[in-house]
Amino acid sequence: MLKARQCVREMRVYHSPLCGPEIDLRLDLNESTTGCSPRVLAKIRSLDAKLLALYPDRESGEKLLSDFLGVKAEELLLTNGADEGIDLLCRAYLDSEDELIIIVPAFAMYEVFAQSTGARIVRVSTAADLSFSVEKVLQAITPRTRMIVITNPNNPTGLAVDRADILRVLQAAPSAAVLLDEAYFDFYGQTMMDQIGKIPNLFIARTFSKAYGLAGMRLGALVGAVEQMSVVRRIIAPFNVNAFAIECLKEALDDRQFVANYVEQVRSTRESLGQQLDAMGLKYWPSFTNFLLVNFRELRQSVLDTMTARGIALRDRPDCPGCIRISIGTPPEIERMVSVLKEIMVEKPVVQQVAK
Ligand code: PMP
């Protein structure tokens, strides 16, 4: 057997929770179960054989998206999902002696990409109510801190981080690349994109996997100051984003109504799910995303098992004791999930006594 680098040997394989054929309702990966814009689908159907024979032209897509976001084309890289943007930053800025700060509970891929560089991962916990604690993050910054990741709104909690707190972190660590992961921006509406080019250590990651319903397309963006992005650009593969994604980008961006409708559907379904959870006496966190984190306490395992048996995948979050993350599907899908939940609650009413 070949000997991989030590930091890779120490890593465990990250298994994506894609599930078996018994599952027909996926509420575990924060995908849109509504699908993508019909305009994007029509565009894919119109593509010809010749186009697919050519390497994709990323620059044309970068021009389109940078105009849309109000940044310069040189400040933006189209990436193979937001995942690739995170990986690029880790590879560009982390050496084995360096430190990366993440705020846990966190999206799993930060650790995976950081570990592969051999950097030291500094896990800063949230406050007891799972909200962002700027003081704890500031305390964790050392001269070795080369990267800090803030997810806003956060996954898996759904909670937002104050702009003032993000600014404090950016100022406190001028030698660190601060990645603001705005994967769920469209559901939240607030961004720091206006600070790109003004704050040199700020990077923002975006994705088309959530509100645009294009997780299968693998399209995202990494945005940052020109001086930094010109360095990051050195390590990216020239054809990292596929031709479908680049060809469909304009349609995806132009169909504003599609995204607005989906975001509104998520908001109202999330609210009504929240009311039903309230009625069952279950605690959840106020979310600015297309998912809710729910505390089932001692019922966690039986909820997961019963849902799986009924063909519904939810996301276990062992990093938040007792909690499960539930993606906001369409109203009928959430109704189906809630009806199974009600059966469980009737069988095991003990949780109904849990204080909110
Ligand atoms: N960041 C966060 C916070 C996410 O939740 C996800 C996907 N679940 C990603 C990044 C990765 O998104 P993409 O599909 O664009 O790689």
CA of 214 to the centre of ligand 1 (A): 12
Nearest CA to ligand 1 atom 6: 183
Span 318-329, mean pLDDT? 96
pLDDT of residue 351: 47
CA pair distance 264, 286, nearest whole angstrom: 16
Task: Determine the residue type at 159.
Answer: L
Any ligand 1 atom below 6 A from CB of 207: yes
The number of CA neighbours under 13 Å toward the Cβ of 340 is 19
SS3 state of residue 187: helix
Which residue has its alpha carbon closest to ligand 1 atom 10?
82
Q: How far is CA 310 from its chain centroid?
A: 27
The model's confidence at residue 352, banded by pLDDT at 50, 70 and 90, is very low
DSSP string of 152-176, one letter each residue? SS-TTT-----HHHHHHHHHH-TTS
Helix (H) or strand (E) holding 231: helix 226-232
For residue 136, the SS3 value is helix
> Can you tell me the distance from the alpha carbon of 138 to that of 215, in angstroms, rounded to the nearest whole number?
34
Give the length of the chain. 356
For the four alpha carbons of 132, 138, 139 and 144, in that order, the dihedral sign comes to positive
pLDDT tens string 210-243: 999 999 999 999 999 999 999 999 999 999 999 9
Going by alpha carbons, the residue nearest to atom 1 of ligand 1 is: 183
Q: Taking the model in full, what pTM does it have?
A: 0.95
pLDDT the model gives residue 13: 84
Ligand 1 pocket test target in 31, 80, 109, 179 with most atoms within 8 Å of CB: 109
Is any atom of ligand 1 closer than 6 Å to the C-beta of 81? yes
If phi over 0 gives left and psi between -120 and 50 gives alpha, with beta otherwise, what is residue 343?
Answer: alpha
Distance (angstroms) between ligand 1 centre and the Cα of 356 equals: 29
- Domains parsed from the chain with CATH numbers: 17-32+257-347 (3.90.1150.10), 38-254 (3.40.640.10)
From 223, 165, 231, 233, select the one nearest 198 (Cα to Cα).
Answer: 223
Closest ligand 1 atom to 215 CA: 14
- Is a pLDDT exceeding 80 seen at residue 21? no
Token pair recorded at residue 117? 């560089």
327 CB-near residues (< 8 Å, 6+ apart) = 26, 27, 28, 29, 30, 31, 33, 290, 291, 315
With a 6 Å cutoff on the Cβ, whether 187 touches ligand 1 is no
